[in-house]
């Protein structure tokens, strides 16, 4: 295996994939009690980006040039993607003629929960099927938003503050 491929796999397992799962989980947490329509929209778009990344990876439908899920697992059965993921692609991630303005045709909280549940089940299957040589690299400890929520607000990589200092008044005229 080339050094670049090995680095890419270990980087994805130790950071990129757990980060996407973290952000998906945090967005879902925020979508349960949005403060406004803009809050819903921002967290829904975050959810959509990470749901799509994880769904593409978990269905081995990746455009990754370095590796695919099938390269990392033994006995992993690709789960058929829910149809709602196609709707997500049309409504959030692409401008196209099928993008709707009609609220009743847009993805709602129930569909978001279905997608999250599907990802969690497929990810659990992935973890079980992950080949032994890759298990030490999978950092699931960073995929749990609970501790980060309790610590305060992060202002970018490696910079944390509390909500009562620098963030007070942010975006307030």
Which range of residues forms the domain containing residue 9?
Answer: 3-143
Asked whether the predicted pLDDT for residue 156 surpasses 70, the reply is no
Angle between helices 109-129 and 17-31 (to 10 degrees): 150
Q: Domain for residue 164, yes or no?
A: no
What confidence category does residue 136 fall into, taking pLDDT thresholds of 50, 70 and 90?
very high
Q: What does the alpha-carbon distance between residue 71 and residue 133 come to, in Å, rounded to a whole number?
A: 12
Q: Domain for residue 158, yes or no?
A: no
Average pLDDT, the chain: 82
Q: Domain for residue 134, yes or no?
A: yes
Q: What does the alpha-carbon distance between residue 119 and residue 114 come to, in Å, rounded to a whole number?
A: 9
Q: What does the alpha-carbon distance between residue 23 and residue 144 come to, in Å, rounded to a whole number?
A: 9
Determine what percent of the chain is predicted with pLDDT higher than 90: 48
Q: Domain for residue 139, yes or no?
A: yes
Q: Domain for residue 150, yes or no?
A: no
Q: What does the alpha-carbon distance between residue 20 and residue 126 come to, in Å, rounded to a whole number?
A: 15
Using one digit for the tens of pLDDT, what is the confidence trace for 61-110?
766 666 788 889 999 988 788 888 888 887 887 777 777 788 888 888 89
Q: Domain for residue 54, yes or no?
A: yes
Q: Domain for residue 127, yes or no?
A: yes
Q: What does the alpha-carbon distance between residue 130 and residue 128 come to, in Å, rounded to a whole number?
A: 6
Q: What does the alpha-carbon distance between residue 11 and residue 147 come to, in Å, rounded to a whole number?
A: 22
pLDDT score for 149: 73
pLDDT score for 49: 94
Number of domains, the chain: 1
């Amino acid at each position: 295996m080339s050094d670049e491929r090995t680095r890419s796999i270990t980087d994805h397992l130790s950071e990129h994939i757990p980060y996407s799962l973290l952000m998906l989980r945090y967005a879902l947490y925020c979508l349960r009690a949005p403060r406004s329509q803009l809050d819903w929209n921002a967290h829904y778009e975050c959810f959509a980006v990470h749901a799509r990344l994880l769904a593409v990876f978990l269905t081995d439908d990746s455009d990754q040039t370095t590796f695919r899920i099938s390269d990392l697992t033994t006995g992993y059965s690709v789960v058929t993607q829910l149809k709602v993921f196609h709707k997500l692609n049309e409504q959030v991630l692409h401008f196209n003629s099928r993008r709707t303005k009609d609220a009743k045709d847009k993805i709602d909280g129930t569909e978001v929960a279905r997608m999250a549940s599907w990802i969690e089940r497929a990810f659990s299957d992935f973890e079980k099927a992950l080949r032994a040589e890759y298990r030490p690299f999978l950092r699931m400890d960073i995929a749990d938003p609970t501790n980060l929520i309790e610590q305060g607000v992060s202002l970018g990589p490696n910079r944390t503050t509390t909500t009562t200092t620098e963030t007070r008044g942010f975006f307030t005229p």
